[in-house]
Chains A and B, each alone.
Chain A
């Protein structure tokens, strides 16, 4: 078949945009590929962009949850972006709880991840400053 889901690196994040009908096999493949790519690119954020996904059953929903959990095990925050309104209604009526951070669209997902990353960088810089000034005062 040769259909795969592209995984794109953008700055500190990976973007997975799902544009084709998800089958169980494809979802299983995606799980593995995302984990590998996270390791390879050493990113700190992952966005699963699902605006073109017009169907999610409980198995596929739980696989997406697992992808998010796998990424967070590796220290990467994951955001599910652009869930289709009909799909969202269906999931809620079924009683499914995605248990994943979500955003309205790709743009706000990236904004949020970049904000998180800049806060972290600022905190790291602050700690470095503190250590440096302590070193100076002790010498």
Chain B
């Protein structure tokens, strides 16, 4: 068992039974997409803390105990955080999209990067969903291609997402973005939905040059 995980469990077990403590810790880790390895040197602990508090709601304890427990967890995780500053998180990832499982890879990587950037849980879901739509488009219509994820700090902290392929290009882009197109695979809202979920969205497409989509989500 990792040291951070057992430290979390031991804080929780001061207020809950041992098995409840482990259930709370596991549930929170699953919901914030962490495993015990990733827990070491976690750079942003806020999402995990939030999930721990949410998981604690499922087990009865007096309010004062919950407040106390939350304070102790915050202390523990913020100390871990200081130790973690030395190891920088991944700032750039490139994922080739050739097979279906690469769609899952792309969205998982995006989610991990979004988490480490401190995006809220809902923002993480939006980013993972957008990346999944972009990767899916490449896989279904234009593969092979790639997704590039990059942490940016200008003009604000955020995650840049690019989708690049050498496929046939998107012929009816205007119609798709206006929502007058229904594909056979999805709800016909992959690209348009993606645009709605992100802050920046630019498409360069043509039959000769393939498609290059540049998007960004700011925190």
Q: Which residues of A contact B (CB under 8 A)?
A: 21, 23-25, 52, 54-59, 61-62, 65, 84-87, 89-90, 93-97
Q: Does B190 contact A (CB under 8 A)?
A: yes
Asked if A90 and B186 make an inter-chain contact with CB atoms under 8 angstroms apart, the answer reads no
Q: In whole Å, how far is A44's beta carbon from the nearest beta carbon of chain B?
A: 28
Q: Mark B84-103, 1 if CB is under 8 A from A, else 0.
A: 00000000000000001101
Asked if A57 and B104 make an inter-chain contact with CB atoms under 8 angstroms apart, the answer reads no
Asked if A57 and B124 make an inter-chain contact with CB atoms under 8 angstroms apart, the answer reads no
Partner-contacting stretch, out of B1-9, B69-77, B125-133, B155-163 = B125-133
Q: In whole Å, how far is A25's beta carbon from the nearest beta carbon of chain B?
A: 7
Q: Take A21-B104, A58-B187, A62-B187 as given contacts and tell me if A94 and B132 are in contact as well, using a CB distance cutoff of 8 Å.
A: no
Q: Take A90-B122, A95-B179 as given contacts and tell me if A54 and B31 are in contact as well, using a CB distance cutoff of 8 Å.
A: yes
Q: Does B196 contact A (CB under 8 A)?
A: yes
Q: Does B144 contact A (CB under 8 A)?
A: no
Asked if A87 and B193 make an inter-chain contact with CB atoms under 8 angstroms apart, the answer reads no
The 9 closest A-B pairs by CB, nearest first: A94-B193, A58-B186, A57-B132, A86-B122, A86-B125, A58-B187, A59-B186, A62-B187, A90-B125
Q: Take A90-B122, A93-B197 as given contacts and tell me if A58 and B189 are in contact as well, using a CB distance cutoff of 8 Å.
A: yes
Chain B contact residue count (CB 8 A cutoff): 31
Which of B104, B107, B125, B132 contacts A87, CB < 8 Å? B125
- Having A54-B125, A62-B185, one finds 4 other A-B pairs with CB under 8 Å, namely A23-B101, A58-B187, A94-B194, A97-B187
Among A23, A93, A95, A97, which residue has the most Cβ atoms of chain B within 10 A?
A95
Complex Cα distance, B171 from A115, in Å, reads 50
Q: Mark B120-142, 1 if CB is under 8 A from A, else 0.
A: 01101110110011001000000
Chain B residues whose C-beta falls within 8 Å of the C-beta of A23 in the assembled complex: 100-101, 104
Chain A residues whose C-beta falls within 8 Å of the C-beta of B185 in the assembled complex: 59, 62
Complex Cα distance, B189 from A32, in Å, reads 25
Q: In whole Å, how far is A75's beta carbon from the nearest beta carbon of chain B?
A: 25
Asked if B136 and A59 make an inter-chain contact with CB atoms under 8 angstroms apart, the answer reads yes
Complex Cα distance, B189 from A56, in Å, reads 13
Complex Cα distance, B189 from A62, in Å, reads 11
Closest Cβ neighbor of A95 among chain B residues: B189
Complex Cα distance, B115 from A86, in Å, reads 14
Chain B residues whose C-beta falls within 8 Å of the C-beta of A21 in the assembled complex: 104
Which residues 144-198 in B have Cβ within 8 Å of A in the complex? 179, 185-190, 192-194, 196-197
Chain A residues whose C-beta falls within 8 Å of the C-beta of B194 in the assembled complex: 94
Q: Take A94-B129, A95-B179 as given contacts and tell me if A58 and B193 are in contact as well, using a CB distance cutoff of 8 Å.
A: yes
Asked if A86 and B124 make an inter-chain contact with CB atoms under 8 angstroms apart, the answer reads yes
Q: In whole Å, how far is B175's beta carbon from the nearest beta carbon of chain A?
A: 15
Chain A residues whose C-beta falls within 8 Å of the C-beta of B31 in the assembled complex: 54
Q: Take A89-B122, A90-B197 as given contacts and tell me if A95 and B100 are in contact as well, using a CB distance cutoff of 8 Å.
A: no
Chain B residues whose C-beta falls within 8 Å of the C-beta of A97 in the assembled complex: 187
Chain A residues whose C-beta falls within 8 Å of the C-beta of B100 in the assembled complex: 23-25
Closest Cβ neighbor of B32 among chain A residues: A54
Chain B residues whose C-beta falls within 8 Å of the C-beta of A89 in the assembled complex: 122, 125-126
Sample (30) of A-B pairs whose CB atoms are under 8 Å apart = A25-B100, A54-B33, A55-B125, A56-B129, A57-B107, A57-B133, A58-B188, A58-B190, A58-B193, A59-B136, A59-B186, A61-B186, A61-B187, A62-B185, A62-B186, A62-B187, A65-B187, A84-B125, A86-B122, A86-B125, A90-B125, A90-B129, A93-B193, A94-B129, A95-B189, A95-B192, A95-B193, A96-B189, A96-B193, A97-B187
